[in-house]
A = this chain, B = another copy of it.
Amino acid sequence: MSRLSYEAFLAQRKEIIQQEESRALGADIVLTEDETKVNEFVMKLKKAELEEGFNAPVEFAPSRHFFQVLDKISQSPLYQLLRKMPKGGILHTHDTAMGNTDAIIQATHREHLWQSGDFGGSNPIHYRFSKTKPAPIDGAGEWHLVSDIRKELGSEKYDLNVKNLLSLFHQDPHHAYHCVNHVWSKFAQIFITLEPLVTYKPVWDEYYLHALEQTYADNVCYVEFRGLLPPVYDLEGKIYTSEEIVQNYIDLTEQFQQAHPDFVGVKFIYAPLRIVDDNTYAQYFDTAEKLHKRFPTFMAGFDLVGQEDLGRPFTDVNDRLLNMSPTIQFFFHAGETNWCGLSDDNLIDAILLGTKRIGHGFAAVKHPRVLEEIKKRNICIELNPISNQVLKLVDDMRNHVGAILFSDNYPVVVSSDDPAFWCASPLSHDFYVAFLGLASARQDLRLLKKLALNSIEYSAMSPAEKDEAKQKWTVAWNKFIAETLKSIS
C-alpha cells in the first residue's frame, strides 16, 4: 500500500476535474471572444447567488419551493439576463397552460359568460359561454351570468378569484398539497374548469395568440406544444372538428409570424389523455392518422398525457401504438414518477416504441439500460424542473435528476410544461432554475447556448427548417451578446 506523491495527486486531481468538465453538457461549445466576456459576467452573477446560498442555504432560490421564491427570482439580475437571452424553442408545453392567465381573466369580462358554483364554495365552478342560460349540470349549482356575479363581488375581486382558481400557487405549498395525487387532482381540476372558458372560439384564438406573444417576449423563437384538441365551440352552436382546430392553429401561427418575422414557428403534438377506455383509444388513433395525413409537417407527432401513476400503462396499448403509421413520430411522456419498478417501466416501452423524445424522464436515472439506450438512440429528455417540483416529484432543485443528466452530456432540453398554472414565465424561470440549481457551479454560458441549440436540434423540424431556425436564432443570439456586452462595458 502506498500513497500518491503530492505532485502526482495534484496532477490527477486536475485531470479528473478536466475530464468531468469535458463530459458536462455544453463542453463542446467554443465561445467567441465576445461570448467569453459575456460569460464572465454571467458567471459573476451565478457565483454571487451560489455564494449567497452557500453561506445561507435558505436564501438559495432553487433549494426552495418555487412559490416561495417567485418574488426573489424576479429581482435576480441573473434571471433578468436569462429573460433577455434567446433560449431557442420550448419543446414541452401544453395547449391551455402555456400562456399566463391574463388572457383568461380578460375573457371573463366578455358577455354571454355563465357560471355555476361560488368561489370558495364546496361545488366546483363551471363556466359556459351561451346566449341563453345553459342546461343544468348534475350536482352543480344554478347558472348565473358572470357579469352579475362580477357586479356583486366587485370587478377586481372577481378577477383575483379567477386568477386563484386557475393556478396552483399557494403561499404554503408544502401544507397545501399533501401528496402527488392531491396536487395532481387540483392540477387536473384547473384544466377542467378552464376548458369551457378557453374553448370558446373567440377566446381560443385570443389565448393562443396571447401565449405566442408572451413566449416571443420571453425570447423564445419556436414552440412545439402538446394539445388535446378539446371541442372548441361558439355561440351559434358550432363545434369545431379536430381538423378545423389544427387548421385554425396553423392560420393563427401564420398571422403571428407575419407580425414577427424573426419568430421561427410552431408545431403541434397530438396528445390526448392516457386514462381512457379502449374505444376512446381507437378514436385517438383515427384522429392521429387523419391529422397526420392532412397536416404532415405542422402535426409533429403523437403522445399521451395525464398522471402517469394513475393512467393506463403503455403495456395496455403497445400493440396498437406499434400499428400506427410508421411516419407518425412519438414524443412520449414517460417516467414522470418517483416510483421505481412500477409505472416507471413506461420508460422502457417508450424507447422500444421508438419515441423521438421523452417527456420528463424523471425516473430514467434509476434505469441503467434506459440511460444507455437514451445515449445510443440519441433520445432527447425534455426536462421541466419547476413542473416536477410543483407536482411533487422533487423538493430541492439540486436533487433534480437533470443535474445528473447535465453532468454527463445526455441529450436534454429544458422546457416549462404548464407555466401558466404556477405563475412562471414561458421558459426563463425554468432556465434560471436549471442553470443555477441543476447545473454544476462550473457550468457556464456554454451550457445555456447548448440548451438553446438542443431545442432546435431535437425539435421535430425538418433539416431545412432547422437551418432556418438556427439562422434566426443566431441573429438574435449575436444581438443579445452584443447588447449585453455594451451594457456591462
Hey, which bits of chain A sit against chain B, CB under 8 A? Answer: 1-6, 9-10, 12-13, 16-17, 19-20, 23, 50, 54, 56-58, 63, 174, 178-182, 309, 318-319, 322, 324, 326-327, 338-342, 345, 348-349, 351-354, 365-370, 373, 393-396, 398-399, 403-404, 407-408, 439-443
Contacts and interface: CB of A to CB of B under 8 A. Distances in A.
Contact of A57 (B9, B57, B180, B373): B180
A442 B404 contact: no
Given A181-B56, A369-B23, A440 B341 contact: yes
Nearest to A58: B179
A407 B368 contact: yes
A88 B87 CA distance: 53
A54 B339 contact: yes
**Residue from A3, A354, A404 whose CB has the most chain B CB atoms within 10 Å:** A3
B57 A2 contact: no
Nearest to A403: B366
Nearest to A337: B398
A349 B3 CA distance: 12
Given A3-B326, A309-B54, A441 B368 contact: no
Contacts of A182: 58
A358 to B, nearest CB: 15
Copies in the complex: 2
A441 B326 contact: no
16 contacts: A3-B353, A3-B354, A9-B353, A16-B373, A17-B348, A19-B369, A20-B369, A20-B370, A58-B179, A338-B396, A339-B441, A340-B439, A340-B441, A341-B443, A394-B396, A395-B399
A339 to B, nearest CB: 7
A57 B442 CA distance: 36
B19 A349 contact: no
A371 to B, nearest CB: 9
Ranked 3 nearest A-B pairs via Cβ? A341-B441, A341-B440, A58-B179
A322 to B, nearest CB: 5
A88 B57 CA distance: 37
Contacts of A3: 322, 324, 326, 353-354
A369 B16 contact: yes
A404 B366 CA distance: 5
Contacts of A54: 309, 339, 342
A393 to B, nearest CB: 8
Contacts of A178: 58
A338 B63 contact: yes
Given A13-B348, A23-B369, A50-B342, 19 more contacts: A1-B327, A1-B354, A2-B326, A4-B322, A4-B352, A5-B322, A6-B322, A16-B369, A17-B348, A20-B367, A20-B369, A20-B370, A57-B181, A58-B181, A339-B441, A340-B398, A340-B440, A367-B407, A394-B395
A440 B341 CA distance: 5
A401 to B, nearest CB: 8
Contacts of A318: 6, 9-10
Contacts of A339: 54, 398, 441
Nearest to A324: B3
A351 B341 CA distance: 32
A220 to B, nearest CB: 26
A404 B50 CA distance: 26
Contacts of A403: 340, 366
A407 B366 contact: yes
Nearest to A338: B398
Nearest to A64: B179
A319 B6 contact: yes
Contacts of A322: 3-6, 9
A55 to B, nearest CB: 9
Contacts of A440: 340-341, 366
A250 to B, nearest CB: 24
A17 B23 CA distance: 28
A352 B14 CA distance: 11
B398 A395 contact: no
A326 B5 CA distance: 11
Contacts of A349: 13
Contacts of A181: 56-58
A367 B460 CA distance: 31
A86 B141 CA distance: 61
A399 B399 contact: yes
